Amino acid sequence: MSIKNDEFGPERVIEVYDQKTGMWGVLVVDNTARGPGKGGMRFVPDVTTEEVFGLARAMTWKNALAEIPFGGAKSGIRGDPKTVNKEAFIRAFARKIKPFIPDYYIGGPDMNTTEKEMAIFADEVGTPLAATGKPSSIGGLPHELGSTGFGVYCATLVAAGFVNIDLNKLTVAIEGFGNVGTFTMKYLTDKGIDVVAVSDSKGTIYNENGLDFENLLDTKSKKGTVTAYKDGKILSAEDLFKLNVNVLIPGARPNVIHAKNVNDVKAQIIVEAANIPMEYEIEKVLMKKGKMVIPDFVANAGGVISSYCEWRGYNEKEMFKIVEEKIINNTELVLNKTVGNDTRAAALAIAKERVSDAMSKRGWK
């Protein structure tokens, strides 16, 4: 294991193994100065301790920037969810890390874990405070409500207003039509904004006059792909990033903007709905061209803000109000603090300052 401690953490790295099921898992609690460590639980065949640490550190910054009283943590279970007994693995993992819940870690959905797994996890630990993203039937606020997409929508409005683009003339392209992309499009089109292109794994559908959300959603549901939408031009998935739009929202896969296509990006604003849709060095290329990048841990924090609201027992209406307030305030703060167009540096500086302040007040430094 090649994790190096620094002034922020990690505080705890716990690898666990269950002899009966063969479950191997890892919990990394990075920093709890601002509150218990909050981060999702991923269930993949090749998860590593180093990967989970990197994600835990990212959650430290995301939760601090979101201005919620959570620290950063993450967990992972190694296994193919299609071939192992998923519930048995989840329960075994819960039993092994129970001593750290919820004082040091609060779980949540991530890759291959949903509201169902969070309900199982909380049941095994024995408290609803063990995880967020649980089903609404047991007091949860599942991410299926669309909190992340709603937050991306809020960040997009702030960014457009910051550079004085008339919303009536705004054009948007969205990569991905899963939970985040779907709700982002819903809220944008409800506002009267033209989403002119949407992609999925099969390709891109493009109509310069705008796509109809309900028709696109129905097409995706019935045909399995947005490219079956009748009123539009079919392009490759990669072509989405080259379109002449005001706003580009990468909302699915990592590293979709890279050295080979970064110079093809025409959008003035890139709002990162997905985690790490491009490396920092690629962001810098766009920033040097005068383009505005809203970093992932600023734009997609709606989900973790929703998690905080669930943890506090707020209802759905209260949650959306808090997501709106925090995403708008923090996006504006980052843009106002940005020097030389480097929005990520500004966001990171704000997050580090908040964590350092909490550490100082606790007497940790």
How far is the C-alpha of 172 from the C-alpha of 166, rounded, in Å? 13
For the chain, the C-alpha Rg in angstroms (whole number) is 20
Where does residue 133 rank: exposed (0-12), middle (13-18), buried (19+ CB within 10 A)? Answer: buried
Q: Is there a catalytic annotation at residue 74?
A: yes
The CA-to-CA distance between both ends of the chain, in Å, stands at 26
C-alpha closest to that of 110 among 48, 52, 197: 52
Where does residue 95 rank: exposed (0-12), middle (13-18), buried (19+ CB within 10 A)? Answer: middle
DSSP 72-96: EEEEEEES-TTTS-HHHHHHHHHHH
* Beta strand 71-78 pairing with 23-31: antiparallel
How far is the C-alpha of 208 from the C-alpha of 226, rounded, in Å? 16
How far is the C-alpha of 49 from the C-alpha of 26, rounded, in Å? 6
* Helix pair 115-125, 86-97: axis angle to 10 deg: 40
Which candidate in 4, 38, 62, 74 is catalytic?
Answer: 74
How far is the C-alpha of 298 from the C-alpha of 344, rounded, in Å? 9
How far is the C-alpha of 102 from the C-alpha of 13, rounded, in Å? 16
Evaluate whether 268 touches 243 at the Cβ level (below 8 Å).
Answer: no
Matching residue, tokens 């047991």: 138
Question: Which residues are the active-site residues?
Answer: 74
